[in-house]
Amino acid sequence: MKEIVLITGANGLVAQELSKKLEKEYSVRFLTRKKKNDREFEWDIKNEIIDDTAFENVSHIIHLAGANIAEKRWTDERKKELISSRVDSANLILKTLQKKNIKLKSFVSASGINYYGTKTTDKIFTENDNPGNDFLSEVVVLWERAADDFKEQNIAERVVKIRTAVVLSEKDGALKKMLPAIKMGIGSPLGNGKQYMPWIHIKDICSIYEFALKNSELNGAFNATSPEHTTNENLTKKIAEILKKPLFMPNVPSFVLKLLFGELASALLEGSRASSEKIQNAGFKFKFPDLKLALQDLLNKN
């Protein structure tokens, strides 16, 4: 009999791709705001409502729920939503499992590479480094703390936190947003373009979740970022090169992005490198460690 894996954030890009990968070996269920089929179970985080039949015989939970960081300006209300969608959702799951006296083999939680702070430095961060001191790092610290509670409360045998870089996919996310302007020949780097942009191919991030699920010795935080480091400028140039488009427009000035996005602009204009050595030393092999090959795979589909 297949082990049951429950995935939150059912409509997200990673959840959709990951579920296809896991279905051969696991029975996959989803927690979602609106049920569409028998594998989906409804929950309402704000009102603390959850269909607890979702947890019957569940062995593993992969917690991917979380409002999109870059979707809207960071008003006070939006900041609360960014935290609540990650932390309150985990707390609701924990309380439900405690009430039903259910123990998990593993709780695997999404996390963010912004744990280390939104800044551009020469440092390459490892999992042993301290968190930053800005809003995004605060979000990630609270997010990981909520995940750690599953082990501390003896609800999960182990907790794995996947500190995810920018996920590259032609279907959604940063790459999809960059493509229209570059295809029209008006693409350009953001700010000075020298900010590092940790990245990972959609297939590799899904493989990391699968790896975390299957390897019971894995515990704690892991950076999920490809070994090849790149800047915003280099990424923009590589996309244009693969699409055979010119790149002659001036960089988008920082002040324009700050006017458009407010505090959120810092996430676009700053960025540091992070090391993926820990996950590789655990035995994970990247299928797309090279940026050019990753972009070719995503963009040369026709």
CATH number at residue 217: 3.40.50.720
Q: What is the structure's pLDDT at 259? A: 86
Q: What are the tens digits of pLDDT across the range 176-192?
A: 999 999 998 888 999 99
Whether the per-residue pLDDT at 16 is higher than 80: the answer is: yes
pLDDT grade for 139, boundaries at 50, 70 and 90: very high
In a domain, 262, yes or no: no
Q: What is the structure's pLDDT at 301? A: 60
DSSP characters for 3-38? EEEEESSTTSHHHHHHHHHHTTTEEEEEEESS--ST
In a domain, 70, yes or no: yes
Q: What are the tens digits of pLDDT across the range 212-257?
A: 999 999 999 999 999 999 999 999 999 999 999 988 888 888 988 8
- Single-letter amino acid, residue 3: E
Q: Which burial class, exposed, middle or buried, applies to 184 when counting CB atoms under 10 A from its CB (0-12, 13-18, 19+)?
A: exposed
Q: What is the structure's pLDDT at 39? A: 92
Q: How far apart are CA 294 and CA 201, in angstroms?
A: 6
In a domain, 113, yes or no: yes
Q: Give the mean model confidence (pLDDT) for residues 276-301.
A: 95
Q: How far apart are CA 275 and CA 148, in angstroms?
A: 22
Q: 31: which strand partners?
A: 41
Q: Look at 93 and 251; give whichever has higher pLDDT.
A: 93
Domain carrying residue 85: 3-167+199-225
In a domain, 238, yes or no: no
How many domains is the chain partitioned into structurally? 1
Whether the per-residue pLDDT at 9 is higher than 60: the answer is: yes
In a domain, 263, yes or no: no
In a domain, 254, yes or no: no
User: 71 in the Ramachandran plot: left (φ > 0), alpha (ψ -120 to 50) or beta?
Assistant: alpha
In a domain, 141, yes or no: yes
What is the reported pTM?
0.95
Mean pLDDT score of the chain, rounded to an integer?
94
In a domain, 213, yes or no: yes
Q: Give the mean model confidence (pLDDT) for residues 40-56.
A: 94
Percent of the chain whose predicted confidence (pLDDT) is above 70: 99
Whether the per-residue pLDDT at 302 is higher than 70: the answer is: no
Weakest-pLDDT range from 43-57, 113-127, 240-254, 267-281: 240-254
Task: Report whether 205 contacts 222 (CB < 8 A).
Answer: no
Start-to-end CA span in the chain (Å): 40
